[in-house]
Amino acid sequence: MTANDPETSYPPSLYAATAHDIVARASLSGDDRADVCIIGAGYTGLSAALHLAEHGLSVAVVEAERAGWGASGRNGGQLHSGQRRDPHWFEERLGNADSRRLWALAEDAKALVHDLIARHSIDCDYQPGLIHAVHRARDVEDEHAYVRSLQDDYGYAAITPLDSDAIASALGTDVFYGGWRDAEAGHLHPLNFALGLARAAEAAGARIFEKTRALSIDSGPTKSVITANGRIRCDNVLLAGNGYMHGLAPEIEKRVLPINNFIVATDPLPDERVAALIPGRECASDSRFVINYWRITADNRMLFGGGENCSPSFPNDIAGFVRPYLLKIYPHLADCRIAYAWGGTLAITAHRVPYIRRVSPGVYAGIGYCGHGVGIATHTGKILADAIAKGDGTLDAYANLPLPPFPGGRLLRTPLLAAAMFWYGLMDRL
């Protein structure tokens, strides 16, 4: 089957058009039983399913659409070092020991992605290297101080500072004032990575039910996940729906908000043009609050993400929405045709830290990765699997992260976030 078969279709994107071995999986019909029922077949759910099955537990995953259908199959494909917040932010709130532990866990997340790709022969075009570009001159010294801190205090030698000339050479544009390069971060084809995790989980014994939306959870002593056409009775439930929770856990949803992000990809570019853009083929992102991010794909396209909204719908013309962000950084790409344009829904928290918790006895959650999901979400799946299967305490490293509810309640929190995004967008331009 191919990505164009109606029964296996994903939302149109470059990733769907270049996905490997998409297969249709059966929906749940009737009642079933598992040690663990996972809601959501993205990175967290698929990684958890794989690791739980490797621990010898029976696992059922219910997915409202297709494996990797949501943010896991539509994101920018960037594998970052660290958490979404930098270590100094954690030091101020949790102390040095917890900050170092969270940094180490993020390093484990990168290593896990590499290990899974190698161990399960996942063909997802992994390419090393990430560049962070600073868009205001006054911020360069702070960013370079951050680099020195990671080198000296955290022993991270893979990061190096870039001045204005170096970043212009690295990114093929003169709009940035400096930045840094992380040689051990990188980028990949996110949908192919997700599909590879799904195949690995099934090979280990996990069952994935597609087109099976979870409608409610009975979290009593005997737990059940109820769907339209059946239920799964289980001992443990893992919530891994990220931006698609749909009323399943109101207390969690107060602290996790879905937002939409948008990406375009050009026609393939000649090799000489790619060499003038990003000669090292690293991925890149900038220092704006509403982040721009981009990279050259394996088939020489410029893939560029820019702009967000928190509306229930996407812009009618996504290419027209994103193109101005692209041309602000690369005006010399004005002649390039946009071949693909798509959007996706991710989940954020108020402080941009993930919601990774044991919610109640037998109920776990891993959501809200705030743009760092390739590594952190995949690793969260393993952390939650280890907690369920063998009582491993690594999960507790995330227990003290501040996760306040968004202000305004259900009716006002989205308009308030939209106003905040508008305000920070203005600040980005100053």
Instruction: Return the pLDDT at 3.
Output: 42
Average pLDDT over residues 90-99: 96
Please tell me the distance from the alpha carbon of residue 34 to that of residue 71, in angstroms, as a whole number.
26
3-state DSSP helix/strand/coil % of the chain, to nearest 5: 40, 25, 35
Instruction: Return the pLDDT at 411.
Output: 56
Instruction: Return the pLDDT at 308.
Output: 87
Written as one letter, the residue type at 409 is G
Please tell me the distance from the alpha carbon of residue 40 to that of residue 69, in angstroms, as a whole number.
10
Average pLDDT over residues 184-205: 98
Model confidence at 364: pLDDT above 70 = yes
Tokens, residue 30: 């009737």
pLDDT-based confidence at residue 410 (cuts at 50, 70, 90): low
pLDDT-based confidence at residue 398 (cuts at 50, 70, 90): very high
Would residue 49 count as lying in a domain? yes
- Find the helix packing angle between 373-390 and 96-119, rounded to 10°: 90
Would residue 31 count as lying in a domain? yes
pLDDT tens readout for residues 367-394: 999 989 999 999 999 999 999 999 999 9
DSSP state of 278: -
Distances (CA, A) of 40 to 35, 57, 230, 326: 16, 18, 16, 32
Please state the domain count of the chain. Answer: 1
Written as one letter, the residue type at 165 is D
Would residue 141 count as lying in a domain? no
Please tell me the distance from the alpha carbon of residue 32 to that of residue 75, in angstroms, as a whole number.
32
Q: What is the residue-averaged pLDDT of the chain? A: 92
Would residue 343 count as lying in a domain? no
Model confidence at 166: pLDDT above 50 = yes
Model confidence at 418: pLDDT above 70 = no
Instruction: Return the pLDDT at 416.
Output: 54
Would residue 145 count as lying in a domain? no
Please tell me the distance from the alpha carbon of residue 38 to that of residue 52, in angstroms, as a whole number.
10
Residues pairing with 192 in the sheet: none
Model confidence at 414: pLDDT above 70 = no
CB atoms within 10 A of CB 116: 21
Model confidence at 6: pLDDT above 60 = no
DSSP state of 137: G
Phi, psi of 78 (to 5 degrees): -95, 130
Would residue 302 count as lying in a domain? no
Instruction: Return the pLDDT at 127.
Output: 98
- Model-level pTM? 0.94
Average pLDDT over residues 61-78: 97
Q: Residue 281's closest CA among 138, 399, 129, 167?
A: 129
Please tell me the distance from the alpha carbon of residue 291 to that of residue 353, in angstroms, as a whole number.
16
Would residue 38 count as lying in a domain? yes
How buried is residue 215: exposed, middle or buried, by Cβ count under 10 Å (0-12/13-18/19+)?
A: middle
Say which residue, 313 or 179, is predicted with more confidence. 179
Instruction: Return the pLDDT at 193.
Output: 98
Full domain range(s) for residue 67: 6-74+191-254+353-407
Instruction: Return the pLDDT at 409.
Output: 60
Please tell me the distance from the alpha carbon of residue 330 to that of residue 306, in angstroms, as a whole number.
13
CB atoms within 10 A of CB 281: 18
Helices (H), 95-189: 96-119, 140-153, 164-171
Model confidence at 415: pLDDT above 80 = no
Instruction: Return the pLDDT at 408.
Output: 63
Stretch among 147-156, 352-361, 379-388, 417-426 having the lowest mean pLDDT: 417-426
Would residue 80 count as lying in a domain? no
C-alpha atoms less than 13 angstroms from C-alpha of 93 in its C-beta half-sphere? 14
Model confidence at 155: pLDDT above 90 = yes
What CATH number does residue 227 fall under? 3.50.50.60
